[in-house]
Amino acid sequence: MNTNNRLQELYRLYLEGIANEEQVRELFALTGQPGMEATLQQLISNTWDELEEMDQTIRKKPAAAGDFAVVADSSAGSDIPAPEVVTSDAAVIRQLPASRRLRRGTKWWAAAAAILLLFGAGLYEWQTHKSADRTPVPVLAAGDIPAGGNKAILTLADGRKITLDSAAEGVLVRQGATSIVKLGGGQLAYRADLPGPAGSGTAGSGSAGASAEAQTAGPAANILYNTVSTPAGGQYRLQLPDGTDVWLNAASSITYPTTFSSEGRTVTITGEAYFEVAHGRPVLPFTVKIRTGLGEEGTVQVLGTHFNINAYGDEASIRTTLLEGSIKFAARGNDRLLRPGEQISLEPSGQMEWNLHADTEQAVAWKNGYFNFTRADIRSVMGQLARWYDLQVVYEGEIPERHFAGGLQRSLPLSKVLTILKENDVKFQITGRKITVKF
pLDDT digits (tens, 9 = 90+) for 329-381: 999 888 999 999 999 999 888 889 999 999 999 999 999 998 988 888 899 99
Q: How many CB atoms lie within 10 A of CB 72?
A: 16
Amino acid type, 193: D
Q: Does residue 14 belong to any structural domain of this protein?
A: no
Interval 109-144: pLDDT, tens: 445 444 544 443 333 333 333 344 444 444 555 578
On the question of pLDDT at 22 being above 70, the answer is yes
Predicted pLDDT at 10? 84
On the question of pLDDT at 205 being above 50, the answer is no
Q: Does residue 281 belong to any structural domain of this protein?
A: yes
On the question of pLDDT at 251 being above 80, the answer is yes
Q: Does residue 136 belong to any structural domain of this protein?
A: no
Report how far residue 196's alpha carbon sits from residue 65's, in angstroms, rounded to the nearest whole number.
Answer: 69
Calculate mean pLDDT across residues 3-27: 78
Minimum mean pLDDT range among 49-58, 126-135, 214-223, 257-266: 126-135
| 372 against 206, higher pLDDT | 372
pLDDT-derived band of residue 159, with 50, 70 and 90 as boundaries?
A: very high
Q: Which residue, 308, 307, 262, is CA-closest to 283?
A: 262
Provide the domain limits for residue 303: 149-363
Q: What is the 3-state secondary structure (H, E, C) of 1-15?
A: CCHHHHHHHHHHHHH
Q: Does residue 127 belong to any structural domain of this protein?
A: no
Q: Does residue 370 belong to any structural domain of this protein?
A: no
Number of domains in the chain: 1
pLDDT-derived band of residue 25, with 50, 70 and 90 as boundaries?
A: confident
Report yes or no: 189 and 209 within 8 Å, Cβ to Cβ: yes
Q: Does residue 261 belong to any structural domain of this protein?
A: yes
Instruction: Note the Cα 376 to chain centre separation in Å.
Output: 13
Interval 371-423: pLDDT, tens: 988 888 899 999 999 999 999 999 998 888 888 877 788 988 998 888 888 87
* pTM, rounded to two decimals: 0.69
Q: Residue 259's domain is classified under what CATH number? A: 2.60.120.1440
Q: Does residue 140 belong to any structural domain of this protein?
A: no
Q: Does residue 97 belong to any structural domain of this protein?
A: no
Percent share of the chain, pLDDT over 70: 69
Exposed/middle/buried for residue 36 (C-beta within 10 Å: 0-12, 13-18, 19+): middle
| 182 against 135, higher pLDDT | 182
